[in-house]
Amino acid sequence: MIIAVDGPSGSGKSSTARGVATRLGLQYLDTGAMYRAVTWSALEYGLDLDDLAAVAERARAVVLSISTDPQRARFAADGVDVTEAIRDPRISASVSKIATNLDVRAELIRRQRELIDAAQPTGGAVVEGRDIATVVAPQSELKVLLTADQDARMARRKAELADGSVTAEQLRDQIVRRDADDSTVSQFQVASDGAVEIDSTHLTLEEVIDVICRLAKEAEAVPSDRTS
């Protein structure tokens, strides 16, 4: 089974997807971390992020190592562990320039599909991001659009960050501006065909995980016509 979890920044996609994957014994793929890792690599190389061709070439060249174990999410770029580094505010401030580069998107979508295919023999994966249900894996047996109101999303993102690591303005930029930028290349704010929309504003993490796991069991009972 492939479960696609899409949604805006701060909606709880990562925590939810990890929890669902852990409970159902599936692999977990954080596609947003891949864009962050490419951002880190481009900045390390001193690239001008507005140089679309140079950034796309870096995306094709960088060696990404991604753990799909939901209880051990680790990421490396060219042999360097960037698990913590890709959550730095400087990455958050720049990642939209990477995510809106269409050649970068094409490369990372290719890699994401390879990882999804590799997960099939082990039972499947929970894949979270912006356009998983619509572009990366439209064949997913379960598609979820996870939403929350802006105040809840900002509070959740703030809770993920170290105290004082970002200002209120930077936090709003991470949520509001990133969504606006990313919406130019990915339609993640409207449920795709066959997707279930879950508003998590007033739900706990465990409640959201419960809902998705129930939906997964229901989807699993329905014969699939998905082809590889």
**pLDDT tens-digit map of 21-57:** 999 999 999 999 999 999 999 999 999 999 999 999 9
* Cα 49 to Cα 53: distance, rounded to the nearest angstrom: 9
**CB-based contact 56:105 (threshold 8 Å):** no
Please compute the mean of the pLDDT values over residues 200-224 and round it to a whole number: 90
> Which phi and psi angles does 6 have, rounded to 5°?
-110, 165
Q: What is the mean pLDDT of the chain?
A: 89
**pLDDT tens-digit map of 184-201:** 666 555 556 789 999 999
Burial 201-221 (b: 16+ CB within 10 A, else e): eebeeeebbebbbebbeebee
pLDDT of residue 182: 66
> Which phi and psi angles does 128 have, rounded to 5°?
-120, 145
Beta-strand relationship, 196-199 and 142-147: parallel
pLDDT of residue 81: 98
* Cα 39 to Cα 57: distance, rounded to the nearest angstrom: 12
pLDDT of residue 228: 41
Residues 6+ apart with CB under 8 A from 201: 147, 148, 149, 152
Instruction: Kindly report the three-state secondary structure assignment for every residue of 78-117.
Output: CCEECCCHHHCHHHHHHHHHHHCCHHHHHHHHHHHHHHHH
Please compute the mean of the pLDDT values over residues 71-99 and round it to a whole number: 93
* Cα 117 to Cα 105: distance, rounded to the nearest angstrom: 18
pLDDT of residue 207: 97
Query: Does residue 217 carry a pLDDT above 60?
Result: yes
